[in-house]
Amino acid sequence: MSLLLLTHRACLGHSNGEGHPESPDRLRAVLAALEAEDFAGLIRDEAPQATEAQLARVHPPAYVSALLAIRPGPGEPLMLDGDTGMSEGSAEAALRAAGAGIAAVDAVCSGDVTRAFCAVRPPGHHAEPRRPMGFCLFSNVAVAARHAQAAHGVARVAVVDFDVHHGNGTQAAFEADASLFLASSHQSPCYPGTGDDSETGVGNIFNATLPPGADGAAFRAVWAERLLPELEAFAPGLIIVSAGFDAHARDPLAQLRVREADYDWLTRQICGIADRHCAGRVVSMLEGGYDLEALAASTAVHVRALMLG
Ligand SMILES: [Zn+2]
């Protein structure tokens, strides 16, 4: 199975400030893990910058231009809300993160590769069309989904989000359009407080909440019994994964007890559905994950499953 790894050093240049959990060290840990011999077969490329027109498929042009006009100098970042910052390198990092998704979609939809993983930051799934939020500036997966539709004629695009936090930004971008699909498992109560099971969009949004302390068996159960059957029924032309690894037992920001083997299992299930409906095409994008050791190990398991699954 050919797998493309997209990243860019500019994604290390974005800072939310000293001591912030969403740090450049996260991406360093992921990239170091993907240097192991197991990953010698990865096809590696640099992420391009998304264009303003590509971002405008999700975000109003005034939002894009206003965000990119924020150009802090060196030093401490400018905080856009209580936990989302922009530093000197953030604009390019955000454009590369969204651009990675665009390039990944181009690669899998043209048949150059079957799957792609985007090792990028800032993450994207909390960014709503009109506001940055929760460490996120642009909605990377929603921009990638819209690109698949607009540039490649993919009729139905599904996003699968197993980050421990609800993908409120993806839901906001998708909830009125039945050609898009979101399945999300997340801890509740937890940030950002949305994602109740009753939030269903136009019948295209599927939220599954897990209580603090839920383990890998509970995590697998909501996917096996509720979310994956809906994904299968949607018959996607492309699957995009919001791959956050902060449901891991070691993660400091939430209280679930998911382990590497659970991420391996879920990734293989997703690949199986992709094989049945869309020639195996999966684009996965890094979201959260704040324990560096757990993040590196979980990402390695996920990427290996994308290569083999
Ligand atoms: Zn998260």
Q: pLDDT digits over 8-25, tens only?
A: 999 999 999 999 999 999
The tens digit of pLDDT for each residue in 170-220 reads 999 999 999 999 999 999 999 999 999 999 999 999 999 999 999 999 999
CA separation for the pair 259, 275 (Å, rounded): 25
Instruction: Tell me how far the alpha carbon of residue 187 lies from the centroid of ligand 1, in angstroms.
Output: 10
For 95-245, strand residue ranges (E) read 115-118, 157-161, 180-187, 205-210, 238-243
115 alpha carbon to ligand 1 midpoint, in Å?
23
Tens of pLDDT, residues 237-278: 999 999 999 999 999 999 999 999 999 999 999 999 999 999
Tell me the pLDDT of the chain averaged across its residues. Answer: 97
| Short-list 46, 11, 42, CA closest to 25 | 11
- Region at 263 (left for phi over 0; alpha for psi -120 to 50; beta for the rest): alpha
* Alpha carbon of 126 to ligand 1 centroid (Å): 9
Strand partners, 115: 3, 282
Ligand 1 centre to CA of 295 (Å) is 12
Q: Where are the beta strands (DSSP E) in the chain?
A: 3-7, 43-46, 78-79, 85-86, 115-118, 157-161, 180-187, 205-210, 238-243, 282-286
Q: Look up 152 and say whether it is catalytic.
A: no
Q: Is the pLDDT of residue 309 over 80?
A: no
pTM for this model (two decimals): 0.98
- Identify whether 77 is preceded by a cis peptide bond (ω within 30 of 0): no
Q: Which neighbouring-strand residues pair with 157?
A: 180, 238
Q: What is the arithmetic mean of pLDDT over 106-129?
A: 98
pLDDT confidence bin for 229, thresholds 50/70/90: very high
Distance CA 59, CA 297 (A): 33
pLDDT interval class at 86 (50, 70, 90): very high
pLDDT over threshold 80, residue 1: no
Taking every pair of C-alpha atoms in the chain, what is the biggest distance, in angstroms?
A: 50
Give me the mean pLDDT over the 160-165 stretch: 98
Q: Please report, as a single letter, which amino acid is at residue 158.
A: A
Q: How many CB atoms lie within 10 A of CB 286?
A: 30
Q: What is the pLDDT of residue 75?
A: 85
Q: Is the pLDDT of residue 95 over 90?
A: yes
* C-beta neighbour count of 299 within 10 angstroms: 25
Rounded Cα–Cα distance for residues 278 and 290 (Å): 32
Catalytic residue of the set 8, 14, 125, 126: 126
Task: Report how far ligand 1's centroid is from the alpha carbon of 269 (Å).
Answer: 21
Residue type (1 letter), 13: G
